[in-house]
Amino acid sequence: RKFGLRLDVASRLVHSGKLDHIVMALILANAALVLVESYWEFTDQVSPPWVDVTETILSVLYVVDVLLRLSVTSFGTYWASPGNRFDFVVSWVLFLAGFITLFDAANHLRWLMTYFTALRMLRVFRLLRTVKRFHMLFSCLQNLWIISGDLVLMLGVMMLAFGVLGCGLFGGCLYSENPLLEGSDY
């Protein structure tokens, strides 16, 4: 609390657990919206204009959640929890993405929405994280993610080494007019 603002209403809302219930309801509404949007996309239907506005409103409400929690605690205390870090990053990314796509009149960034929809679905994990049956599962997945970091790094280094080796050995030989490759799949 050393650096946090002391707002009585926000403090009561956060510490009583009411904010958690509100956020859970928002996450359920968000999940339902994502399912409806996915149905429209799979059936090649055009989504109504209110969908983009609703996504932006949900993103704003997620940021308000983060700001309310930060108003009653210090950033260091807030950031100490991995769940809060996840919520912070996802909330701000969705907020910025929502406003960028809202003002993208030519729809140049529409292809990004698929990735942001997946990111929005990750918020559902926050809801499932509170269910006792899923708590063990998410703990195991979190431990696997932490442990696999070194393996993923080693895999990346190996891919880079093979890429450098392949370019060094075969660089410049693979082009469509090369007579040596005539009749092959290249």
* Single pTM value for the model: 0.65
The percentage of the chain sitting over the pLDDT mark of 90, rounded to a whole number, equals 11
C-alpha to C-alpha distance for 37 and 42, rounded to whole angstroms: 9
Q: Contact 149/142 with Cβ under 8 angstroms?
A: no
Residues shown for the chain = 186
45: DSSP letter:
P
Q: What is the pLDDT of residues 130-166, one digit of tens each?
A: 778 888 888 888 888 888 988 999 999 999 999 888 8
C-alpha to C-alpha distance for 154 and 160, rounded to whole angstroms: 10
Contacts of 4 (CB under 8 A, 6+ apart): 70, 71, 72, 73, 74, 77
pLDDT of the residue at 133: 82
73: DSSP letter:
S
Q: 10 Å Cβ neighbour count for 160?
A: 10
pLDDT of the residue at 161: 94
Q: Which of 5-19, 98-112, 159-173 is predicted least confidently?
A: 98-112
The stretch 111-138 carries a mean pLDDT of 77
